[in-house]
Amino acid sequence: MELILTNTGSYPRIGDTAELQQLRRAHGQRERGEISAESLAKVQDAVTAEVVREQIAAGVELPTDGQVRWGDGLSYFAANLNGVSMNGLLRFFDTNTYFRQPVVTGRLSRKGPLFARDYRQAVKAAGRPVKAVVPGPYTMARGSILESGYRSVHALTVAYGAVLAQEVSELAGQGAPVIQVDEPAILRHPSDLAILAEALVVLARGKGAARLSLATYFGDAAPIYDDLQDLTVDVLHVDLTYSPALGRVIADRGSTKALSLGLLDARNTKMETRETVFPLLDLIGRRLRTPAHLAPSAGLEYLPRDRARAKLEAMRRLRDAYVGERR
């Protein structure tokens, strides 16, 4: 069985030592007007390089840029759009973290390319292709306040899809092998799957040779697992920490897509062991299309930096032991 080790998106941008807090200090200095936007961007680049290298050192084969520049899952992209203003803070799903809520006030268009630049920085640090991550059009629409410009969440999802398609196209042009589209909201609103499906078709038009990966997390994908198989994506990421039933569902149904198995709990410090991971891999393994991905359940930013790294190191140890023993 071939399991590629990947990260599911974010990585803690600071740690507990002074040298790991340069980004926190730089943001503080920027807020007080002590440094320029360009100086802050340089620190962001340096920290991006740092977290990319840290993922690779921990054994990750397909790292991400760590989403070091993202203020949160929605507003980083939304702030780069015409037709959007920003509202107050709202809780981000069931996390004890918050996002700034976009307010859609008119037709959406980009102020310019966003993710391709971040991707280039990450590749420079990694010395190899990395996985790109973009927010999903449905989660963007669900998390936005719709004031004007569109008639419904459906129309807004498709509109977000259209502007995200430009980002996807540029990322594909940069050589991104996998472009992950984050859609946690669909697990909360499964009746809207048809809306997501329509937007993903738009998104997929620009993907070129890249593989599109749909990331679902913060919920139980088991009830809609069959429907997710019908979407126009190449890889499906599922969060196996929420659902006791999902492993059995995958074992029963198999998958028409490559799966990204979110087996390591990105929300808790408790370390996975062979006793918790191997039985699930045994259950699912015979139905996997390989190569599959092994990954944290969600972005790792919910953990302290040292624990995030330890999780990735554990992931490599477990993968190596499992593949070695089952060979």
Partner 1 sequence: MSRAKLKSLGFDLPLLPTTSVGSLTKPDDLLAARARHARNEITQAELERLEEQATEFWIRQQEEIGLDVLVDGEMYRGDMVAYFAGLMGGFTLGGLVRSYGNRYYHKPIIGGEVKWPGPMTVGWWKKAQAMTRRPVKGMLTGPYTVMDWSFNDYYPDRRAAARALAREIRKEVEALVEAGCKIIQIDEPALSVRAEELQVAIEAMHVVTEGLPAYFLTHVCYGAFEFIYPAMLALPVDNWDLEMSNSGLDLVELFKAHPFTKDLSFGIVDVHTHVLEDIDVVKERVARALSVMPADQVWLDPDCGLKTRTVPETIDKLRLVVEAAQAARFALGAKT
Q: What are phi and psi of 324, to 5 degrees?
A: -60, -45
Q: What are phi and psi of 91, to 5 degrees?
A: -65, 140
Residue 94, interface with partner 1 (CB under 8 A)? Answer: yes
Residue 273, interface with partner 1 (CB under 8 A)? Answer: no
Q: Which of 11, 115, 302, 322 binds partner 1 (CB under 8 A)?
A: 302
Residue 282, interface with partner 1 (CB under 8 A)? Answer: no
Q: Which of 32, 270, 325, 327 binds partner 1 (CB under 8 A)?
A: 270
Residue 99, interface with partner 1 (CB under 8 A)? Answer: yes
Contact string 193-222 vs partner 1 (x = CB under 8 A): ---------------------------x--
Q: Which is nearer to partner 1, 199 or 303 (CB)?
A: 303
Q: Which is nearer to partner 1, 61 or 265 (CB)?
A: 265
- Work out whether strand 3-5 and strand 292-296 pair parallel, antiparallel, or are unpaired: parallel
Residue 142, interface with partner 1 (CB under 8 A)? Answer: no
Residue 223, interface with partner 1 (CB under 8 A)? Answer: no
Q: Residue 194 class from Cβ within 10 Å (0-12 exposed, 13-18 middle, 19+ buried)?
A: exposed
Least distance in Å: CB of 279 to partner 1?
15
Residue 97, interface with partner 1 (CB under 8 A)? Answer: yes
Least distance in Å: CB of 89 to partner 1?
6
Q: Which of 91, 111, 124, 253 binds partner 1 (CB under 8 A)?
A: 91
Q: Which is nearer to partner 1, 54 or 61 (CB)?
A: 54
Structure tokens at 320: 């190596």
Residue 15, interface with partner 1 (CB under 8 A)? Answer: yes
How many whole angstroms separate alpha carbon 206 and alpha carbon 300?
28
Among 25-33, 121-129, 190-198, 313-321, which window interacts with partner 1 (CB under 8 A)?
25-33
Residue 34, interface with partner 1 (CB under 8 A)? Answer: no
Number of residues that bind partner 1 (CB under 8 A): 34
Structure tokens at 83: 């037709």
Least distance in Å: CB of 15 to partner 1?
7
Q: Which of 268, 283, 314, 323 binds partner 1 (CB under 8 A)?
A: 268
How many whole angstroms separate alpha carbon 269 and alpha carbon 187?
24
Q: Which is nearer to partner 1, 19 or 325 (CB)?
A: 19
Residue 82, interface with partner 1 (CB under 8 A)? Answer: no
Residue bearing tokens 């087996």: 263
Q: Which of 4, 7, 13, 228 binds partner 1 (CB under 8 A)?
A: 13
Q: Which residues bind partner 1 (CB under 8 A)?
A: 12-16, 24, 27-28, 31, 71-72, 88-91, 93-94, 96-100, 188, 220, 268-270, 301-307
